[in-house]
Each structure stands twice: as C-alpha cells, then as structure tokens.
Amino acid sequence: MKVSEIKEMSTKDLLEKVEATKSQQAKMRLNHAVSPLENTSEIKKIRKDIARMLTILHERKNNEVTK
C-alpha cells in the first residue's frame, strides 16, 4: 500500500485497516510456523504497511494537537 493511498483514507478507516492488517499478519506468522510459506516476503511487506499506516495516524494526531 502506497503512502498516497493511506493519506486518502479517513482516520476511522485507517484504524480499521490497521487492526485488520495486524490480524492478517498474525495469521500469516502462525501459518508460517506450522508450514513454511512460499513467499515469506509478504510478512515483511505487511509489517511495513502497518508501520506506514501508524506513521500517518501519528502525523494526523500531532497536527491536531498543534492547531
């Protein structure tokens, strides 16, 4: 997911997406522990997507506080 796509989302949608993505990441890790995934880089991509979304949320929070 690109930063431009994340910035277009509302804060509520972004929070929901973070929770859904964290859930997906946990499932992928569990599946990978049981039987190796074919494409393990997906776990890394999901982790980075979560970090991007959280960064945007923190930026929005800081902008609201300073205004």
Q: What is the pLDDT of residue 66?
A: 86
Task: Read off the pTM.
Answer: 0.89
Query: How much is the average pLDDT of 55-67?
Result: 92
The angle that helices 11-34 and 41-66 make with each other, rounded to 10 degrees, is 160
Question: What residues have CB less than 8 Å from 43, skipping those under 6 apart?
Answer: 25, 28, 29, 32, 37
> Count of domains in the chain?
1
Write the pLDDT tens digit of every residue in 23-55: 999 999 999 999 998 999 999 999 999 999 999
The residue segments making up the domain with residue 50 are 3-66
Q: What is the domain-level CATH number for residue 52? A: 1.10.287
- What rounded mean pLDDT belongs to the chain? 94
